[in-house]
Amino acid sequence: MILRLAAASLVARGLTVGMTVLAIGLSVALFLGVEKVRTGAKASFADTISGTDLIVGARSGSVQLLLYSVFRIGNATNNVTWESYQDLASRPEIDWIVPISLGDSHRQFRVMGTTSAFFEHYMYRQGRSLGFGEGVVMDDLFDTVIGHDVAQSLGYGVGDPIVVAHGLASFTEHKDQPFQVSGILEKTGTPVDRTVIVSMEAIEAIHVDWQRGARIPGQTTPVDQIRQMDLTPKAITAALIGVESPLQTFSLQRAINEYPEEPLLAILPGVALQELWGIVGIAETALLAVSVMVVVTALIGMMATIFSSLNERRREMAIFRAMGASPMAILGLLILEAILTAAAGAVLGLGLLYLGLFIAQPIIDSAFGLFLPIDPPAIREALVLLAVVAAGAIVSMIPALRAYRLSLADGMVVRS
Amino acid sequence: MKRLLPVALVAIASPALAEETRELDSHEHGVGELNIAIEGGTVAMELHAPGADIVGFEYEAESSEDRAAIDAAVATLARPLELFVMPAAAECTVVQASAALESEEEHDDHVGEHDHDEDHADDHDHDKEHDHDEEHAREANHTEFHAEYTLNCGNAGALSKVTFAYFGAFGNARELEVQIVTASGAQAFEVERNEPTLDLRGMF
């Protein structure tokens, strides 16, 4: 009975109530959205690389090494000499080692030189291997495998020629040695999607006629001649390592970190990811705090509307009283109305969240490589919604108590 | 300041030793490192802890009390299951355990050779007389206890929690930075004195 009354009363004040519901809904959607992005980003981060036990690069910081070797953000402070790489590769603890060479680009995408072992050992999302959407692993010197996003945004297909630019943001391009797309990888949601992969030898080959960052004028080595040359790399940027047994991970890591011939750094990807997340996590907490404040603001807004409605509804309350409603019933009515409003807001928020997710998911995925799974609401989200409704009820108690006191004293005559 | 001192000394000493590779590990009093690697039923652990954490001093043992303190500490460190308490259900037994006190330059076994370096409070005065020495920056005199353990666990899946009695045994230790490697990846934890447990669920 009181429920029907509350619902009817809300409907009667449709516009104001609608606005309040919208405000709560938006704030709830924002909060859940931030939460979604937060957990999605964290999972996406942790899923970027798996199955690799150590990453080796020039000595810098673990986060920096992780950033440039895995996320292709920033640059290496130094390269690792090929000799050191060979030294490492021959160690008995090593099950597999994959070299990586960075520094060139194709349009806005980074070019990475590596070996075909990369496709075998690089794993993401808990042990998933890279899959080919089309084509095969590079076979010829000038073959390249491109990530999904590269193919999508540049419209490349298998067999298309591409030109690799020297350096990152430079306009000088390695025009003489056009590469050919031999394969396109499946979408992974990792930085591999935005990478052009060539062989280690190809990285050497494109730099044959270059010295100190500029072309040697008038000199072009024909492609046939390049194929005859010794294209053993002189340096690599980093290497991914798998160890024979986890028990050897730490001793190998120490051996690399204390390698006397060259200052090297070996990191545990999982630990470095955690460290990186620790840095990013501060912004994440701030974001979460802001979205909580928005929810609180919306609830206070609701309280304000209830307060202002009390005056308008003074006569209504008096009539309820005259018809035999107890002051407690008045209190209950107002709280119930608030609960209904907050619940409607929460449901609307959830709806907005999923609507937003459906629209934004592919955009966020392609723009930021951040995959936000569209799952049915989990217990955590249900708890958040419940908390919003409960907070709505608590907040509404203040105006409701006022109405309770007024309804004790007020007569049917509205004094003005 | 304590951490900068060795760096500064290396910088002072460098012209005379231009051809050597110089390196010093970071060293933070109160903070030790514990690495744990788990594969199947085998658990390999290594502990690095500053001398200050374990015995409260880092100078070379002079008095018999100092030496006794070091011996006692080494003996304690050689009993890993009493320092890092594993659940009984995991059925862990010690296969191998070793502990030793090492000075910063562990690569060159010259520990104990520098008896003349008695007073480490005024070590700057020693700089000049050390230039002829083949060693360098001995004045820093940071020491670390290193321990290595191999455990065998009948039921490694039950390793859900490790309780660090370590902090009870060594009153100066504040924190252990723990890194764990299993087949499913690596993770880092910080275990502090006021919350000396490590939750390992989710590592398997």
- Angstrom distance (rounded) from CA B10 to CA B24: 9
Cα of A267 to nearest chain B Cα, Å:
10
| Site from A42, A268, A277 to mutate, B interface, most B CB atoms within 10 angstroms | A268
Q: Residue A49: what pLDDT? A: 86
How far, CA to CA in Å, does B127 sit from each of B12, B101, B137?
8, 25, 8
The H or E element containing residue A403 is: helix A379-409
Of A247, A250, A268, the CB nearest to B39: A247
Closest CA to B117 of B142, B136, B133, B138: B138
Of A246, A269, A275, the CB nearest to B39: A246
Closest CA to A223 of A140, A281, A299, A295: A140
Residue in chain A nearest B183 by alpha carbon: A246
Pairing, β A94-106 against β A80-81:
unpaired
SS3 content of chain B, % helix, strand, coil (to 5): 30, 35, 40
Size of interface A-B (CB pairs under 8 A): 44
Q: What DSSP line would sit under A251-288, residue for residue?
A: HHHHHHHT-TTS-EEEE-HHHHHHHHHHHHHHHHHHHH
What would the two tokens of residue A180 be?
């050919």
Between these two residues, A21 and B17, which has the higher pLDDT value? A21
* Residue A258 in contact with partner chain B when CB distance is under 8 A: yes
Of A50, A260, A268, the CB nearest to B181: A268
Residue B21 has pLDDT above 90, yes or no: no
Spans of chain A, pLDDT less than 50? 168-171
Calculate mean pLDDT across residues B6-19. Answer: 48
Q: Residue B137: what pLDDT? A: 42
Residue B152: pLDDT band with limits 50, 70, 90? very high
> Which chain A residues are closer than 8 Å to B35 by Cβ?
250
Please report, as a single letter, which amino acid is at residue A19.
Answer: M
Using the beta-carbon criterion (under 8 Å), do B186 and A53 form an inter-chain contact? Answer: yes
Hey, is B120 helix, strand or coil? coil
Calculate mean pLDDT across residues B188-196. Answer: 90
Residue in chain B nearest A257 by alpha carbon: B25
Between these two residues, B21 and A404, which has the higher pLDDT value? A404
What would the two tokens of residue A235 be?
């340096």
Are A221 and A209 within 8 A, CB to CB?
Answer: yes
Using the beta-carbon criterion (under 8 Å), do B38 and A260 form an inter-chain contact? Answer: no
Q: Residue A319: what pLDDT? A: 82
Q: Residue A161: what pLDDT? A: 85
Query: Which residue is it, tokens 């204390």?
Result: A258
Name residues 29-48 of chain B within 8 A of A (Cβ).
35, 37-39, 42, 44, 46
- Angstrom distance (rounded) from CA A96 to CA A253: 15
Residue in chain B nearest A53 by alpha carbon: B185
Q: Residue B131: what pLDDT? A: 42
Hey, is A156 helix, strand or coil? coil
Please report, as a single letter, which amino acid is at residue B71.
Answer: D
Residue B149 has pLDDT above 90, yes or no: yes
Phi/psi class of residue A117: alpha, beta or left (left: φ > 0; alpha: ψ in -120 to 50)? alpha
> Which chain A residues are closer than 8 Å to B24 by Cβ?
none
Strand partners, A189: none
Using the beta-carbon criterion (under 8 Å), do A247 and B21 form an inter-chain contact? Answer: no
Query: Which residue is it, tokens 């230790």?
Result: B173
Calculate mean pLDDT across residues B83-108. Answer: 81
Q: Residue A176: what pLDDT? A: 58
Residue B138: pLDDT band with limits 50, 70, 90? very low
Are A82 and A234 within 8 A, CB to CB?
Answer: yes
Are B102 and B48 within 8 A, CB to CB?
Answer: no
Residue B16 has pLDDT above 80, yes or no: no
Of B44, B46, B185, the CB nearest to A270: B185
Q: Residue B114: what pLDDT? A: 39
> Which chain A residues are closer than 8 Å to B183 by Cβ?
246
Using the beta-carbon criterion (under 8 Å), do B38 and A50 form an inter-chain contact? Answer: no
Task: List helix spans (H) across chain B.
Answer: 4-13, 51-54, 64-77, 80-83, 127-130, 166-169
> Which chain B residues are closer than 8 Å to A53 by Cβ?
181, 186
Average model confidence (pLDDT) for chain B?
75
> Which chain A residues are closer than 8 Å to B181 by Cβ?
53, 246, 249-250, 268
* Residue B65 in contact with partner chain A when CB distance is under 8 A: no
Residue B116 has pLDDT above 50, yes or no: no
- Angstrom distance (rounded) from CA A150 to CA A179: 14
Neighbouring C-alpha atoms within 13 Å toward the C-beta of A308: 9
Residue B11 has pLDDT above 90, yes or no: no
Cα of A270 to nearest chain B Cα, Å:
5
Residue in chain B nearest A267 by alpha carbon: B186
The H or E element containing residue A328 is: helix A327-368
Phi then psi dihedrals of residue A179, to 5 deg: -90, 165
Write the secondary structure of A72-110 as one string of H (helix), E (strand) and C (coil).
CCCCCCCCEEHHHHHHHHCCCCEEEEEEEEEEEEECCEE
Between these two residues, B105 and B41, which has the higher pLDDT value? B41
> Which chain A residues are closer than 8 Å to B186 by Cβ?
53, 249, 268-271
pTM, two decimals, is: 0.72
Total residues found in chain B within this entry: 204
